[in-house]
Amino acid sequence: MPPRFPTPFKVIAHRGASAYAPENTIPAYTHAQELGVVDVELDVQLSKDGVVVLYHDHTLLKKTGQPGRVRDHTASELLKMDIGTWFDRTHPEIEEKFSGTRLNTVDALFETFGNSFQYHIELKSDDEELVGLTLNHVSAHHLENNVRLTSFLFDQVMRARQQAPHIPTDLLVRDAARLRKEAGLAADAVLLPLQKTWVDRAADASLALVGFPAEDMTPELVQYAVSRGLEIRAWRIRGDEDMHRALEVGAYGMTTNWPDRLIRELLRHKRAGGS
């Protein structure tokens, strides 16, 4: 019997369709749109002058060749930075070339795509003002019904709940190794009870969803999250194995760099009789 997927199952283009174009850039979201994706994920951080910029990493060097962090630069400096050259170097299999593709702002993303997407906005940095400034752009573009706020940072999640109780807020949970280390447990300590404490935190804070790395997900974890009234989705999909695992355990969706592969897989299961 093929797995029955929760409806609607969310195929979320991770940082846009980031296997095919530089992550968190307009071309990555354009590609996601061309693939027919409705849900996209993005990472937001604040520039030195308080502009909400799309960028994932803690530092700029690896992907832009520039020093420091997003917070160390003004928006006008950041928007000149090229992330396309890094992408071309690390994705030689992609025919289209992106050298010269620059970083962008959340405002430009919303301006370009408006309400054609559901945006999963990951609050990446711990700046207190990040939540409010991001919400200002959501309001300015009338996107209150098109966004969810997500974060690994519990303080940011709580700020999001307080400042935007009408917007679904999701907690991302770290991977097994990090959870055990932060809890002072041995590397082989039983994982489920620890994972449950994070599910409980999310449920007690009236969050909408918890996200776990695909490789750490089990049917028991999914069942527990659902019993606490939460949706549960997978992150860190490194390839087909993770994708299949997340599907098999009953995740409600996943972020993936290859949304086309996930869509194909879901159609295959549907043809085989799944929901």
Judged by beta carbon, residue 73 or residue 233, the one nearer ligand G3P is 233
Which secondary structure element, helix H or strand E, spans residue 235, and what is its range?
Answer: strand 231-235
Judged by beta carbon, residue 43 or residue 260, the one nearer ligand G3P is 43
- What is the contact mask toward ligand G3P in residues 210 to 239, using x (rule: CB under 6 A)? -x-----------------------x----
**Using the rule CB under 6 A, is 41 a contact of ligand G3P?**
yes
The one-letter code for the residue type at 136 is: N
Judged by beta carbon, residue 45 or residue 146, the one nearer ligand G3P is 45
Cα angle for residues 132, 77, 112 (degrees, 5° grid) = 60
Q: In angstroms, what is the minimal distance from the CB of 152 to Ca ion? A: 9
**Using the rule CB under 6 A, is 43 a contact of ligand G3P?**
yes
**Using the rule CB under 6 A, is 56 a contact of ligand G3P?**
yes
**Using the rule CB under 6 A, is 70 a contact of ligand G3P?**
no
Number of residues near ligand G3P (by CB under 6 A): 9
**Using the rule CB under 6 A, is 18 a contact of ligand G3P?**
no
Judged by beta carbon, residue 58 or residue 142, the one nearer ligand G3P is 58
Q: Distance of alpha carbon 204 from its chain centroid, rounded?
A: 22
Judged by beta carbon, residue 41 or residue 216, the one nearer ligand G3P is 41
Q: Burial-class residue 30 by CB neighbours within 10 Å (0-12, 13-18, 19+).
A: middle
241: left (phi over 0), alpha (psi -120 to 50) or beta: alpha
The answer to whether the beta carbons of residues 5 and 246 sit under 8 Å apart is: no
**Using the rule CB under 6 A, is 242 a contact of ligand G3P?**
no
Tell me which residue has tokens 């300015």.
Answer: 140
**Using the rule CB under 6 A, is 14 a contact of ligand G3P?**
yes
Q: In angstroms, what is the minimal distance from the CB of 93 to ligand G3P? A: 21
Cα 215 to Cα 27: distance, rounded to the nearest angstrom: 29
User: H/E/C letters for each residue in 4-43?
Assistant: CCCCCCEEEECCCCCCCCCCCCHHHHHHHHHCCCCEEEEE
Task: Considering only residues 181 through 210, tell me which ones interact with ligand G3P, judged by CB under 6 A.
Answer: none
Judged by beta carbon, residue 14 or residue 159, the one nearer ligand G3P is 14
Point out which residues bind Ca ion (CB under 5 A): 43, 122
Cα 275 to Cα 259: distance, rounded to the nearest angstrom: 19
Using CB under 6 A as the criterion, which residues of the chain lie in contact with ligand G3P when the complex forms? 14, 41, 43, 56, 122, 172, 211, 235, 255
